[in-house]
Amino acid sequence: MNYTLKVWRQARPSEKGKLVSYSAHGISSEASFLEMLDIVNERLLEKGEEPIAFDHDCREGICGMCGSVVNGYAHGHQRGTTLCQLHMREFSDGSTIIIEPLRAKAFPLIKDLVVDRSAFDKIIAAGGFISIRAGSAPDGNAIPVAKEMAERAMDAAACIGCGACVAACPNASAMLFTSAKLAQLGLLPQGQVERDSRAREMVRAMEDAGFGACSNHGECEAVCPKEISTNFIAFLNRDFIVSSMK
């Protein structure tokens, strides 16, 4: 299969970037999107040209490292799929594919398709933890957890922190990410000690990092590769209001 790629190239933050066209010919329909970029980069290196910089790690839809905007969609147009799980059979032969970085004030660009997502780390550091005694692993049944609560917590914990929600939101909000990380702890008995402070501190860290406010567009849920529900944003809002009143 043959494609025309228009890739955002920017050597460093201080320089102007632009879309550069590349030919991706003879690509297998079974190749993943990142494998296609690997092939293009190998050909660029053979010609002595600078390869395209992009983030990746596990390539199994787990780590959250990969992430670019493909034809206007974070992670591409296929629902519930990370960029590394997107296959070239999803694109028509001969089509043009536009590839850009995740764009947000809180995600400053490093090079080409690579952005700095360490703002997420600051949100986690602010409240994404619980107070427990260190030592040997506790008995799995030591603290009973209702099945419904356990399942909801697991749904929130599915978030891989890729940043697609931020890139898709018109306000570059991190509410879906923050609410998922807050809810996965706040729904469990082990997370109750810091529950009030967690909501305040994580929201404060989110605002300090430069993320925008949520205005209920729902684009975050639409592009999330793990299909995290916006219901968790309501959970965050409740916890934040309650903790602020206390």
- Based on the domain organization, do 134 and 185 belong to the same domain? yes
- Based on the domain organization, do 122 and 224 belong to the same domain? yes
- Based on the domain organization, do 154 and 91 belong to the same domain? no
pTM: 0.93
At 52-104, the pLDDT tens digits run: 999 999 999 999 999 999 999 999 999 999 999 999 999 999 999 999 999 99
DSSP 12: S
Which pLDDT belongs to residue 246? Answer: 78
**Which phi and psi angles does 69 have, rounded to 5°?**
-95, 120
- Based on the domain organization, do 144 and 97 belong to the same domain? no
At 126-184, the pLDDT tens digits run: 999 988 777 787 777 778 899 999 999 999 999 999 999 999 999 999 999 999 999 99
Task: Show which of 78, 110, 142 is a domain's final residue.
Answer: 110
- Based on the domain organization, do 101 and 201 belong to the same domain? no
Question: Mean of the pLDDT values across residues 213-231?
Answer: 96
CATH code: domain of residue 237: 1.10.1060.10
- Based on the domain organization, do 140 and 102 belong to the same domain? no
Which pLDDT belongs to residue 187? Answer: 95
Q: Which of 97, 95, 51, 92 has the alpha carbon at shortest distance from 71?
A: 97
Which pLDDT belongs to residue 139? Answer: 76
For residue 168 the two structure tokens come to 């898709």
CA separation (Å) from 52 to 20, 21, 124, 150? 10, 12, 30, 42
Q: Which residue segment(s) compose the domain that 26 sits in?
A: 3-110
- Based on the domain organization, do 20 and 96 belong to the same domain? yes
Which pLDDT belongs to residue 135? Answer: 78
Mean pLDDT, the chain, whole residue set: 95
Which of 2-6, 51-55, 189-193 is the least confident region?
A: 189-193
Task: Show which of 87, 110, 133 is a domain's final residue.
Answer: 110
- Based on the domain organization, do 203 and 89 belong to the same domain? no
- Based on the domain organization, do 141 and 241 belong to the same domain? yes
- Based on the domain organization, do 142 and 106 belong to the same domain? no
CATH code: domain of residue 81: 3.10.20.30
- Based on the domain organization, do 148 and 238 belong to the same domain? yes
At 199-221, the pLDDT tens digits run: 999 999 999 999 999 999 999 99
